[in-house]
């Protein structure tokens, strides 16, 4: 007689048999990136907000009244970072007095000989197995090369530095292993046209760096060997001191992420997060915006809409 599970009722268990042969070991799985990809695809706002909580600093202008501090003279003396764990705000050296309204979710700080400094943030990280990722959305006016961000030290001009500069015809990424210390990217823009550029410098994989322009064009470069002395701040809108390369244009967003002495399998910000940052920053031209069409119900005349 057996019970409902197929076991014999009232019988004793027999002796345990010999252990079976182990199966062959399967192939090693892919690196654990699928989780990040799924979160970015299904929960993009949560992923982006969590990243910005951990970023070194993050500057956006969703609401100028909350994101900027204005003084009695009408100058925007501070641009607040969205990072909630360590506050690295941008402090005005020469304050802007104008905000450009772009859309319901985008505004920009206007630069015309304006300059801001972010203290205690290292753009040229010397630590082992480290990287820095910067994404910036800007508008530029003029054919001369103008500085968007830079950690150039005017007191140590021979020290290697990193920077992003641009004109209406090209972009320059500084801190590269080239005779000029920069790579040039041809990028012709019209007046009032917006550009979103993501750059990642690293001292990983022979100082391999990369860039993504407007979410589609991309390339790689080799970074400079870094100097042990780190400049512990960077400038927005120009170089430190009186520089003829001050930005004439506007900046809408800056995301700045530093990975310092990371794990050996961590070689930069995951691609899915880079894509998310770029998509969130990009400005859609108003001419390309198509409002939703209101559908008619059946048997409804045009005058009823």
**pLDDT tens-digit profile, the chain (305 residues):** 444 334 444 445 556 656 555 555 555 544 445 576 766 665 556 666 666 666 688 899 999 999 999 999 999 999 999 876 778 999 999 999 999 999 887 899 999 999 999 998 989 888 888 899 999 999 999 999 999 999 998 888 888 899 999 999 999 999 999 999 999 999 999 989 999 999 999 998 899 999 999 999 999 999 998 777 777 899 999 998 777 899 999 999 999 998 887 777 788 888 888 999 999 899 975 444 343 343 444 444 443 33
**CATH class for the region spanning 36-284:** mainly beta
Cα-Cα-Cα-Cα dihedral sign, residues 80, 190, 283, 100: positive
Instruction: Indicate the pTM of the whole model.
Output: 0.79
Cβ proximity of 260 and 132 under 8 Å: no
Q: Are strands 194-202 and 182-186 parallel, antiparallel or unpaired?
A: unpaired
- The residue behind tokens 């998310």 is 276
Residue 258 C-alpha from the chain's centroid: 10
CA torsion, points 270, 272, 277, 278, in degrees to nearest 10? 110
Residue 162 near residue 136, CB atoms below 8 Å: no
Per the CB < 8 A criterion, the answer to whether 252 and 196 are in contact is no
- What is the pLDDT, as a whole number, of residue 270? 87
Beta-bridge partners for 138 = 195, 251
Q: Exposure pattern of 203-232 as b/e (b: 16+ CB <10 Å)?
A: bbeebbbbbbbeeeeeeebebbebeeeebe
In whole angstroms, how large is the CA radius of gyration of the chain?
26
């Amino acid at each position: 007689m057996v019970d409902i599970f197929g076991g014999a009722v009232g019988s004793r268990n027999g002796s345990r048999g010999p252990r079976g042969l182990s199966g062959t070991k399967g192939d090693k799985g892919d690196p654990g990136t699928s989780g990040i990809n799924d979160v970015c695809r299904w929960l993009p706002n949560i992923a982006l907000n969590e990243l910005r909580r951990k970023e070194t600093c993050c500057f956006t202008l969703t609401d100028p009244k909350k994101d900027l501090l204005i003084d009695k003279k009408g100058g925007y003396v501070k641009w607040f970072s969205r990072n909630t764990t360590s506050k690295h705000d941008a402090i005005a050296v020469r304050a802007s007095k104008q905000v450009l309204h772009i859309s319901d979710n985008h505004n920009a700080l206007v630069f015309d000989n304006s300059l801001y400094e972010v203290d205690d943030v290292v753009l040229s990280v010397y630590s082992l197995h480290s990287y820095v990722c910067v994404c910036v959305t800007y508008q530029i006016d003029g054919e001369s090369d103008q500085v968007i961000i830079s950690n150039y030290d005017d007191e140590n001009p021979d020290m290697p530095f990193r920077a992003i500069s641009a004109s209406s015809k090209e972009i320059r990424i500084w801190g590269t292993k080239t005779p000029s210390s920069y790579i040039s990217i041809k990028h012709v823009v019209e007046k009032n046209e917006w550009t979103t550029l993501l750059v990642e410098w690293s001292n990983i994989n022979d100082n391999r760096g990369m860039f993504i322009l407007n979410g589609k064009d991309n390339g790689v470069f080799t970074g400079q060997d870094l100097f042990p002395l780190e400049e512990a701040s960077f400038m927005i809108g120009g170089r430190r001191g009186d520089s003829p390369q001050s930005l004439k244009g506007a900046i809408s967003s800056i995301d700045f992420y530093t990975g310092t002495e990371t794990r050996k399998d961590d070689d930069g910000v995951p691609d899915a997060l880079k894509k998310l940052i770029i998509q969130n920053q990009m400005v859609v031209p108003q001419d390309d915006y198509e409002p939703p069409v209101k559908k008619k119900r059946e048997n409804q005349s045009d005058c009823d809409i």
